[in-house]
Structure 1
Amino acid sequence: MKWLLDTLASSIGKKLMMALTGFCFCLFLAVHLAGNLTLFGGREMFNSYAAHLHALGVLLLVGEWVLLLFALVHIVTGLTLFYQNIKARPNRYAVNKSAGGRTIGSATMPYTGVLLLAFIVFHLINFHFVDKTQTTIFDIVSQAFASPMYVGIYVIAMIVAAVHVSHGFWSAFQTVGANHPKYMPMIRTLSIVFALVVGFGFGILPIFVSISA
């Protein structure tokens, strides 16, 4: 057990935890997006999706707690690595170069991560921790996205999510050792495609709801 704790406490161990939890969140995003796309089918289809989801009962509750645990691990580990990097290199380089695969996503990972955390809290307050006894989830979503401010916040948040995922996805593959020169270009391309799907897929939903309400 000690070797496991020592491994997880090391820099490599922290990066592995970031990668594994990151993979889980990418899977969650894909599944969540697939479910939310039922909004295009209208009130009955979306409410039916929500009803089937909540019918999972204990399984859904367990899944939510697992996601919460993974989120805590991902956030704490990410901030710890960020702090260690700053501590190891307190003086910033005079010139920021894009060599070595540095991208907007990689350069802004800690900041986009914090913004996404704030958005997730905002999202949960507006859609999860609300009284649903006298209404339906479709009505809650429709009412929220009737506000241009809400639509703007969600669209901007999805752009931030796309930027974060664009680096995090392929970086996770690199961390677990899938960084062979033959496959990395394909993985990078897949990462960009996935980021665009996430950003556009989630971002278009509030716009669609607002104009169709």
Structure 2
Amino acid sequence: MNWITGTLGSSIGKKLMMAVTGFSFCGFLAAHLAGNLTIYGGKDAFNGYAEHLHALGPLLTVAELGLLTLFLIHVITGLILFLQNLKARPVRYAVNKTAGGRTLGSATMPYTGVLILAFIVFHLLNFHFVDKTDTTIFNIVSEAFSNTGCVVIYILAMVVAAIHVSHGFWSAFQTVGANHPKYMPAIRAVGIAFAVAIGIGFGFLPIYIFLLA
């Protein structure tokens, strides 16, 4: 028990928690996108997908609570690591270079993370914590994305999410030890491809609904 506590309390342990929860969210994003793509099949297909999820009953509730737990671990751990890094280097370097593989994603991880957190709250308020009486999820989505401002917010949020995932994906592999020079270029390429797929996949949905409205 002391070993577990010591490991999770260390910087390496926190990074491992970030990696594990990050992998979980990548899996969730892929599954969530696959489900949302049913909207291209029309109103009945999308409503059928939503009804299938709600038919899971308690299992869906357990999955949502598990996802919430992983999310809280990811956010809190990321915040702790960010504050620890600031404390370790309170004075910024005079010159901010991009050498050593530094990318837009790696340089902005804490900030894109905060923006994603704000977007998730916005998303839940628009689609989860709403009155679903005498309506369908398709109608709720259609009404939300008939608003130009809402569409713009979602598109920008997906750009931010793609930037975050582009670094987080390969960084998680590196954290768990899969950082061999032979494999990392391929992992980086897959990470970028996955991030682009997430950004475009989710980002085009509000545009499609807006054009239908």
Structures share fold, TM-score greater than 0.5: yes
Whole-Å separation in 1 of the counterparts to 2:101 and 2:17: 22
Cross-structure match for 1:195:
195
Deviation at 1:51, TM superposition (A): 0.4
Cross-structure match for 1:205:
205
Cross-structure match for 2:137:
137
Q: Unpaired runs of 5+ in structure 1?
A: none
Could you give the per-residue CA deviations for residues 87-141 of structure 1, whole angstroms, max 9, x where no partner exists? 0001111111111110000000000000000000000010001111210000000
Amino acid at match of 2:151: V
Whole-Å separation in 2 of the counterparts to 1:17 and 1:189: 23
Cross-structure match for 2:108:
108
Q: Which runs of 4+ in 1 moved over 3 A?
A: none
Matched, 1:17 2:17: yes
Deviation at 1:157, TM superposition (A): 0.2
TM-score (norm 2): 0.99
Correspondence 1:59-98 to 2 at 5 A: 59-98=59-98
Deviation at 1:173, TM superposition (A): 0.2
Could you give the per-residue CA deviations for residues 27-73 of structure 1, whole angstroms, max 9, x where no partner exists? 00000000000111110000000000111111110000001000110
Amino acid at match of 1:120: I
Correspondence 1:26-65 to 2 at 5 A: 26-65=26-65
Whole-Å separation in 1 of the counterparts to 2:142 and 2:154: 13
Matched, 1:118 2:118: yes
Describe the SS at the equivalent of 2:100.
Answer: helix
Whole-Å separation in 2 of the counterparts to 1:96 and 1:46: 47
Deviation at 1:164, TM superposition (A): 0.2
Whole-Å separation in 2 of the counterparts to 1:57 and 1:204: 30
Amino acid at match of 1:13: G
Cross-structure match for 2:171:
171
Cross-structure match for 2:181:
181
Whole-Å separation in 2 of the counterparts to 1:46 and 1:136: 10
TM-score (norm 1): 0.99
Describe the SS at the equivalent of 1:95.
Answer: coil
Cross-structure match for 1:159:
159
Percent identical: 70
Deviation at 1:16, TM superposition (A): 0.1
Could you give the per-residue CA deviations for residues 174-193 of structure 1, whole angstroms, max 9, x where no partner exists? 00000000000000000000
CA RMSD of the aligned region, Å? 0.5
